[in-house]
Amino acid sequence: MSGGAVLVLGARSDIGLAIAHAFAAEGHAIQLAARNPGTLEPARTDLALRHGVEVTLHRFDALDPAGHETFLDSLPALPEIAVCTVGFMGDQAESETDMAAARLVMRSNFEGPAGILGLIANRFEARGSGTIVGISSVAGDRGRATNYVYGSAKAGFSAWLSGLRNRLAGTGIHVLTVKPGFVATAMTEGMDLPARLTAEPDAVGRAVLRAVRARRNVIYVKPVWWLVMAVIRAIPEAIFKKMRI
């Protein structure tokens, strides 16, 4: 599966780098974008040497919408695939009392990703080809007391991706929503995660590659999450509001 360049937004994340490796192994040039791209130099070297592809670094701040068009104009080429792994979990307790902290979580998980992908979608549509991949979360499937600020932002992002997919149907643009569930990354380090529900970053990368190939619409990286969230969504509200999950 060789082809055009793959842009990874939020490339300093473990998931972002795993996705970059999955596509580089198939011969794609890689564009790594992050707020501090200089920290990605070791990753750039590793990707280029291991897979024999061109890898470029780019400065990108999801929370600076005024700079998004300039960022896209600065890329060596409009990518064929754009993957947004930008996200920030934050702390639920802090977000409940500090509205600035809550806004940062919501902007990082919804406003920023939706804003840049919307611009990319317009450019893809004008060209007539392209794939957009948004990393959302199972947390967006239902608001839960333990993470509803993060979950609500991911719910908005999932709905936005669904609407974009509907809008672009028939244009040749593929829009994929990815719900990884628990992933063993730096962000979840120290958490007691159930093994059956937890994926490794490499597994996420392979799942995204397969889903792009198959032009899937929505995937749960570990299929068991579909069942888990179906059960949670089915709990009546009168009962659900008494639970703390």
Query: In the chain, what are the domain boundaries?
Result: 6-240
Contact of 53 with 46, CB cutoff 8 Å: no
Angle at CA of residue 190, ends 137 and 227, nearest 5°? 35
| Sequential pLDDT tens for the chain (245 residues) | 457 999 999 999 999 999 999 999 999 999 999 999 999 999 999 999 999 999 999 999 999 999 999 999 999 999 999 999 999 999 999 999 999 999 999 999 999 999 999 999 999 999 999 999 999 999 999 999 999 999 999 999 999 999 999 999 999 999 999 999 999 876 666 677 778 899 999 999 999 999 999 999 999 999 999 999 999 999 999 999 999 88
Looking at residue 188, its pLDDT comes to: 66
User: CATH for 6-240, among 3.40.50.300, 3.65.10.10, 3.40.50.720, 1.10.390.10?
Assistant: 3.40.50.720
Looking at residue 204, its pLDDT comes to: 97
The one catalytic residue among 23, 60, 71, 150: 150
The C-alpha atoms of residue 236 and residue 230 are separated, in whole angstroms, by 12
Looking at residue 187, its pLDDT comes to: 67
* Beta-bridge mates of residue 173: 130
Looking at residue 1, its pLDDT comes to: 46
Angle at CA of residue 31, ends 200 and 23, nearest 5°? 45
Looking at residue 158, its pLDDT comes to: 98
Q: Is 148 one of the catalytic residues?
A: no
| SS3 per-residue string spanning 190-236 | CCCCCHHHEECHHHHHHHHHHHHHHCCCEEECCCHHHHHHHHHHHCC
The whole-model pTM stands at 0.94
Looking at residue 189, its pLDDT comes to: 64
* Helix or strand run (H / E) with residue 50: helix 41-51
